[in-house]
Structure 1
Amino acid sequence: MQTMATHHCPAMLISAPASGQGKTTITAALTYYHRQQNRKVRVFKTGPDFIDPQILSFACGHPVYQLDLWMMGEAHCCELLYQAAADADVILIEGVMGLFDGDSSSADLAQTLDVPVAAVIDAGGMAQTFAAVAYGLAHYRADLPFAGVIANKVGSPGHAKLLLEALPENLPLLAAMAKDDGVGLPSRHLGLLQADEIGDLDLRLARAADLLNSLALCRLPEPVAFAPITASPPPRLLAGKRIAVARDAAFSFIYQANLDCLLAMGAELAFFSPLTDSALPEADSIYLPGGYPELHLQTLADNVAMKQVLQAHHQAGKPIYAECGGFLYLLERLTDHDGHCANMAGLLPGSAQMQKRLVNLGMHSLQLEQGEIRGHSFHHSQLTTTMQPFTMSNPQRQRSHSENFFRVGSLQASYLHLYFPFNPQVAAGFFL
């Protein structure tokens, strides 16, 4: 029996003292820089995020996968990293929030996976204090692997020299990004704009990569040993089934791992656009993921042909599974942030209205007949409906509240974004 080899690959988890320090910009710039050096880069994103991975995927030229110990499990995270290390010259993992923030923090992930941390620190308005912040991050928790620091928004070569001289020898400066408003990434209420919406993204990333290597040598991280781990393939419960998956500017919040899981269970995937298509692909079931339907309200409302074919699919008793934005699209009406209201597909009774404040955010566990599946919710809309929930989710954080899970005939929908590989049997049930 052949023994699987350990893969060694330079890797680091890019974190920060807080949100807003520039983690995504720095991670994308590093990715772009290493690609310019003809290195194969594989990128991961900590936590349940759809938007940052789009930017990072654009930068690296490959799908970006999530890493979350609670939603995915340690073994699955290790498996994804092991697979990436077999082909990559460098692995970069973008963290979430501040390094130690949250119930399953970036520090927890780095320590569990033994991937060293590179701390991005906004150096604007700081000199020697930069080193104090770096020292605190590196030593706050014992045995945390720490690669060094990356200075962001550095004012000048002289400023970079001050930062470098203040750091102790065991805290190397891995890179320094000069301050430049032209490399920032624009945002909206759920985070950054999607990659396809930033028309000059390639120019921004190229500029960022140049700036990253202009003030200090951009250093390649040290190799990490990724031990072999393989999971049993999921049962082929969807063999012979064809699933129509909505994918366009309004419906783009979908884990690549979810698509991989459906394919591994034997499904064939056919993509369509509720914005522009007038017909569905020939399919046994439909997957409507989350996204920004509120930003495309009138286009969705005006595409009567698509709404009619969705209704016919439902009336024929064929499965439909919808998450968050896809769920909103199936309601009777949706009102955007400016108060504009439009008719949606009308498969579910009720309406939703976008709110100025976040309505729910958190990790959730959902228990169905086939077992437990995990995911998260993150939405700014408020639902009004006469539907009674089939069941309710169990939130993992006190500040989050339960989400209703609805079944109407062959249609299943909720605000939840679920991670299919956690329980493929449950995921298959959405499409059978």
Structure 2
Amino acid sequence: MSDFRDSRESHRETSASCPAVFIAAPASGQGKTTVTAALARMLRRRNKVVRVFKTGPDYLDPRVLSQASGRSVDPLDLWMAGETYCRRRLFEAAQEADLILVEGAMGLFDGEPSSADLAALFGLPMVIVMDVKGMAQTAAALVSGLVGFRDDIRIAGLIANACGSARHRELIEAALPESVPLLAAMPRDASLALPERHLGLVQAEEIRDDLEARFEAGAEALAGEGLAEALLGMAPVTFTAAPAEAAAPPRWLAGRTIGVARDAAFSFLYQANLDLLERMGASLRFFSPLEDPALPACDALWLPGGYPELHGARLAANADLHDDIRRAFAADLPILAECGGLLYALDTLTDQQGEIHAMLGLLPGAGAMRGRRGCQGMQTAELPEGPVRGHAHHRSQASGTPEPIGFGRRQRHPASGEAIYRARRLTATYLHLFFPDNPVAVARLFGADAVEADSIKECQA
């Protein structure tokens, strides 16, 4: 399993270098993703290869950033994924990229481990994005405080977001400490900001054309700042990874086909999870609970998270697919239902308008949205197959459910985490699992016939 600790392998290391920047902020809501997407598109327009990563557990931002950069975007999280995984992803990116951008989460010092922890571990210079609406010299004072808070990070500059005028920019720039230049100012323009809804950004697939216009406008706003030259001209960062870390896991799922729900209602899928299943030998067959009248032929099912509450009527109307999934459940196919998948597996789901929709009925219970109240946080799913790290992030609740077989273990708090339910071979929970944390447990969860418990050290992703 992954852990937040220094790698202890003594293998010979290989290395790759390229400029890399960590995009951070003093708080959430400062415009990190808007600025990171604009930077990626600006450099892409110059035919540069930009590899972007997102810190922490996130499904929505990476897809937006992937569209902006034209490349896949992976999460980096020292607790959920581990140092070895993060080191390998950065090393691989550095072999092809002209620039690596890592977008942080929350404020740069928030959480354990924090964005600053990740930047310090890999020697990434940090660029602060700050919404400067309603302040001028105070923005410089805040930057000064961030600079002096820790001595193991380097803040390479400020990007002032929502800047009101040339004079506004001048006031901020004149007050900044000499060590922190003002790299750029994004104008205060609503057409540049990325659309949001509950749980985060609107999914990229739903507003692709609108996002394209915003990316292009953001890139244009930054194009005359000399920012591309400043970033590409930074000293390269060297990333190392031991060759043994790239070893493929055993093909425990060879010959097995996993049906994976994927559409506008079920889209919270880490590419790393899909890649691991395929490296373990599984064939993946995607289907749409919104559109498809039948399941593909498969040996196991994965119902991931997403937004079923936005599509309750259409999900309820697909009665033929409901019958297929119920037959798979009765035939004891392994089924993993995560968050939105859990809601889909219940008897009913009440959407934000109060409408009640019939769901699969695999697990007794009723799901309902609950306004702005929700639950989020890092947890370990304590499964019979083995512990798997992941996270919770939802604004719904499930009631009338059976007794759980266990609970998630919170990262630091002693209280019980999310409930874990099991009925026949269905495993249902609000937790989103990060499969590379424990490939052994995941292989067992999807029905692998024989997996040796001591094989975990051989299959770090």
User: Smaller-chain TM-score range?
Assistant: over 0.9
**Structure 2 matches for 1:3-402, cutoff 5 A?**
5-198=14-207, 199-215=209-225, 217-218=227-228, 219-220=230-231, 222=234, 223-230=236-243, 231=245, 232-398=247-413, 401-402=416-417
Preserved CA contact (<8 Å) 1:78 1:229: no
Worse-matched range after superposition: 212-221 or 373-382: 212-221
Preserved CA contact (<8 Å) 1:362 1:397: no
> Secondary structure of the equivalent of 1:276?
coil
Worse-matched range after superposition: 348-357 or 285-294: 348-357
Change (3 A) 1:406 1:254: same
Preserved CA contact (<8 Å) 1:177 1:215: no
Q: Which residue identity lines up with residue 344 of structure 2 in the other structure?
A: Y
Aligned-pair identity (%)? 51
Worse-matched range after superposition: 135-144 or 165-174: 165-174
Preserved CA contact (<8 Å) 2:15 2:238: yes
The CA deviation at 1:358 is: 2.7
> Secondary structure of the equivalent of 2:92?
helix
> Secondary structure of the equivalent of 1:245?
strand
State the alpha-carbon separation in 2 of the partners of residues 329 and 294 from structure 1.
9
The CA deviation at 1:401 is: 4.6
TM-score by length of 1: 0.96
Q: Which residue identity lines up with residue 353 of structure 2 in the other structure?
A: D
State the alpha-carbon separation in 2 of the partners of residues 399 and 175 from structure 1.
44
State the alpha-carbon separation in 2 of the partners of residues 292 and 422 from structure 1.
25
State the alpha-carbon separation in 2 of the partners of residues 150 and 343 from structure 1.
48
The CA deviation at 1:173 is: 2.2
The CA deviation at 1:13 is: 1.1
The CA deviation at 1:303 is: 0.5
Preserved CA contact (<8 Å) 1:240 1:268: yes
Residue-pair matches, total? 431
Change (3 A) 1:34 1:399: farther
State the alpha-carbon separation in 2 of the partners of residues 166 and 63 from structure 1.
38
Preserved CA contact (<8 Å) 2:301 2:336: yes
Worse-matched range after superposition: 295-304 or 83-92: 83-92
User: Which residues of structure 1 form unaligned runs of 5+?
Assistant: none
The CA deviation at 1:43 is: 0.8
Preserved CA contact (<8 Å) 1:175 1:213: no
Worse-matched range after superposition: 62-71 or 296-305: 62-71
Preserved CA contact (<8 Å) 2:326 2:360: yes
The CA deviation at 1:215 is: 5.0
The CA deviation at 1:430 is: 1.8
Q: Which residue identity lines up with residue 210 of structure 1 in the other structure?
A: E
Q: CA RMSD in A?
A: 1.7
State the alpha-carbon separation in 2 of the partners of residues 370 and 322 from structure 1.
15
> Per-residue displacement from partner, 1:260-319 (whole Å, max 9, x unpaired)?
111111111111100000011111111110000000000000010110110111111111
Preserved CA contact (<8 Å) 1:248 1:273: yes
Preserved CA contact (<8 Å) 2:21 2:231: no
> Secondary structure of the equivalent of 2:40?
helix
Preserved CA contact (<8 Å) 1:360 1:400: no
> Secondary structure of the equivalent of 2:141?
helix
The CA deviation at 1:130 is: 2.3
Q: Which residue identity lines up with residue 281 of structure 2 in the other structure?
A: G
Worse-matched range after superposition: 214-223 or 202-211: 214-223
The CA deviation at 1:158 is: 3.2
The CA deviation at 1:234 is: 1.6
State the alpha-carbon separation in 1 of the partners of residues 240 and 360 from structure 2.
48
Change (3 A) 1:98 1:296: same
State the alpha-carbon separation in 1 of the partners of residues 401 and 79 from structure 2.
33
> Per-residue displacement from partner, 1:166-189 (whole Å, max 9, x unpaired)?
323321222221111111111111
